[in-house]
Amino acid sequence: MNKENLVSEINKFWDDKIIPALIEYIKIPNKSPSFDPNWEKHGHMDKVLDLAINWANENKPSGSSLVVERTPGRTPIILLDVPGTIDGNILMYGHLDKQISKVGGRKCLTEGWARVGATAIGVCVGG
C-alpha cells in the first residue's frame, strides 16, 4: 500500500468509525468515581462500557480477543489481546470515565462542542 492510500484509509477510518463513537461517548455523563460516588447506581459506566465493547468487537484486528473483567465496587477493565509476530509485549492504557468539568485551570467543554476537522466533538482546553 502506498503512502497516499494509507493516509486515505486512516482518515476514512477516523471519520467513519472513531469520530462517531467519540461523539456518542461524549454524550454519556460518565464521571470518574472520585467525582460521582453513585457511579454504579447511575449506570453511565455500563453504557460507556457497552459502547467500547461493541466498537472494539466491530473494529478489532483479526485474531485478537476481548475480555472484560469486573470487580465489585471498581470500574471494569477491558483487555484487548492482539497477538504479534515478534517477541515482547506492549501495554496501552486508557479509561472510560471522565474527570470533572474543571481541573487545574483546564476547562472542559461539556455543554458545547468544539470543531476538530469537519466534525464537532467535546474537548478540554486551556492550561
Three-state DSSP state, 8: helix
Tens digits of residue pLDDT in 40-63:
999 999 999 999 999 999 999 999
From 72-81, 83-92, 103-112, the region with the lowest mean pLDDT: 103-112
Three-state DSSP state, 98: strand
**Is the alpha carbon torsion for 31, 64, 56, 14 positive or negative?**
positive
How far apart are alpha carbons 47 and 24 in whole angstroms? 10
Domain boundaries, the chain: 3-98
For the entire predicted model, the pTM comes to 0.74
Tens digits of residue pLDDT in 12-34:
999 999 999 999 998 999 988 98
Residue whose C-alpha is closest to residue 49's, from 72, 73, 69, 33: 69
How far apart are alpha carbons 124 and 23 in whole angstroms? 14
